[in-house]
Amino acid sequence: MRLEGKIAIITGGASGIGLATVQKFVREGAKVLIADISLERAQHASDEIAAAGFDGATAACQVDVSVFAEVEAMVARAVEVFGRVDVIFNNAGIAGGRPLLEHEPEKDYAPILRVDQDGVYYGILAAGRQFKKQGGGGVIISTSSIYGEQAAELSFTYSAAKAAVISFTRSAAYELAEHGVRAVAITPGRVGTPIINQFSDELKATFAAEQVRNKLTRPEEIADVVAFLASDEANAINGTVVSVDDGYSVFKQRLDLPVF
């Protein structure tokens, strides 16, 4: 098991990519603090994992990642329960979009920046301090997005926040290298999370068509990559962006080929 003995914190860990990653980490031998805005959902996820034969492998924690004191408390909770922290997956995020000229900044700008940008900064800072306190070593993985590298519909604020995640990752890798810490960002494309699965079949088909194999990526496929990045096998991957977008970024639209 590639994560045997590792202690991880996964934010947004009660659903979607976060939950799939919790499950993958546990199967790979890690112990995980499931951190989520909803303690009820986090505890439910922890209970289900225990019932599946992994009793003691997880613990639940409520956190609002937009509040630094709560992120610090989350890291302290992981240390209290499991003794140390080896990996943090800054995955919690929110979406939302409106045409730029229709923005109400307090609704369409500030909340997304607080969660998707500040939340990752806080996670990097709190975990980085804990890694140093432990004597060095550790892995920071953060969820950016394809939108962090390009413009897209209704994504003015979201794209800015996800671009910041990429910049944070590069800077963290540089600044924390002396402490033996690695930092990596991932850029998912269209993933079949509860957020997307609530939409109509027509819209989901449109999203799927934006990826080269014409299907949505499963959360479990993202989790597989995150588990690898958290492992010692990925020791040479540092300060970079790993695309997990099934080719979203390599083409613009699917066209019918002309007859020659």
Give the separation between CA 85 and CA 202, rounded to whole angstroms: 43
Q: What are phi and psi of 236, to 5 degrees?
A: -90, -5
Instruction: Reply yes or no on whether 158 is catalytic.
Output: yes
CA distances from 198 to 193, 202, 204, 252 (A): 9, 11, 9, 25
Considering 121, 122, 147, 158, which one is annotated as catalytic? 158
Task: Judge whether 240 and 184 are in contact, CB under 8 Å.
Answer: yes
Q: 68-82 vs 119-134: helix axis angle to the nearest 10?
A: 40
HSE of 92 in the Cβ direction (CA atoms, 13 Å)? 31
- Residue 20: other Cβ atoms inside 10 A: 22
Within 8 A by CB and 6+ apart from 230, the residues are 3, 6, 8, 25, 30, 87, 89, 139, 141
Burial 62-93 (b: 16+ CB within 10 A, else e): bbbbbebebbbbbbebbbeebeebbbbbbbbb
- Which residue from 100, 107, 118 is spatially nearest to 155, judged by alpha carbons? 100
Return the number of other C-beta atoms located less than 10 Å from residue 47's C-beta.
13
Amino acid at 173: A
Active site residues: 158
